[in-house]
Structure 1
């Protein structure tokens, strides 16, 4: 049960990263996302978010203990949550909505999405660690 839940969570994280970027960036044509945060959310940054999604997808099909991958993914998501909170504290979200609705929605939700998956990956790490401890001991 838990292994299916973990696999499905990894797949969901992959789909969110890949489809979310493609949808909100309009397949990398939405310049408002880039303009609102030209460092983190450049087209290169958005592409790397999709690459992380591919890493989650690959991890979903690993037939072994993925606890350390889950730990890395939780840390990666934590970084995006912190970056998002810092961005929100320094920028006017309303002005992003004025530039583009999709960009506004993107900047409103991406950190919440990353927070949810950060908690999931942390849970997956702890679950896998607990299972490994019981197997060895």
Structure 2
């Protein structure tokens, strides 16, 4: 399967924009429910770092082929968030989050799915760029 450069660039931009939705779900870091249910990973600092990661994805969108190892780091980062989400879902009740705040409930319901999907995207692009770099 050959993914076109334009599609890959859009994927990087979309991944960044998805991270920026943290600003909406957290109401620009004023929603205390998100950090309440995971005070380590989803503290306001943690949410800010999610925004920073999103900006990093967008920053390389047009030059991703020049930084294959950074894309590999993105895949690792997304896999960690995916793992944390799975663990959180297995040990918590998301309906309790919904009871306190709908936006926080939606956030906890979807963030891990998003991270796992973009982990696969970054992994595919990492492998593509490594293969094309090694053939030069």
Whether TM exceeds 0.5 here: the answer is yes
Partner-residue secondary structure (3-state), 1:60: coil
Partner-residue secondary structure (3-state), 2:5: helix
Aligned residue runs from structure 1 range 6-21, under 5 A: 6-18=8-20, 20-21=21-22
Give yes or no for the alignment of 1:4 onto 2:10: no
Residues 59 and 69 in structure 1, CA contact (< 8 A), matched pair in contact too: no
Query: Pairwise CA RMSD of aligned residues?
Result: 1.3
The equivalent of 1:56 in structure 2 is: 57
User: Alpha carbons of 1:86 and 1:108: their partners in 2 closer, same or farther (altered >3 Å)?
Assistant: same
Query: Runs (4+) of structure 1 moved beyond 6 Å?
Result: none
TM-score relative to the length of structure 1? 0.92
TM-score relative to the length of structure 2? 0.93
- Residue-by-residue CA offset, 1:41-81 (whole Å, 9 max, x unaligned): 01100000000011111111327422111100000000000
Aligned residue runs from structure 1 range 19-58, under 5 A: 20-58=21-59
Q: Distance in 2 between matches of 1:30 and 1:63?
A: 34
Residues 75 and 120 in structure 2, CA contact (< 8 A), matched pair in contact too: yes
Q: Distance in 1 between matches of 2:79 and 2:7?
A: 21
Q: Distance in 2 between matches of 1:53 and 1:83?
A: 18
The equivalent of 1:117 in structure 2 is: 118
User: Alpha carbons of 1:50 and 1:63: their partners in 2 closer, same or farther (altered >3 Å)?
Assistant: closer
Displacement, 1:8? Answer: 1.3
- Residue-by-residue CA offset, 1:10-58 (whole Å, 9 max, x unaligned): 111111101x101111111111111011110011000000000111111
Partner-residue secondary structure (3-state), 2:99: helix
The answer for unaligned runs of 5 or more in structure 2 is none
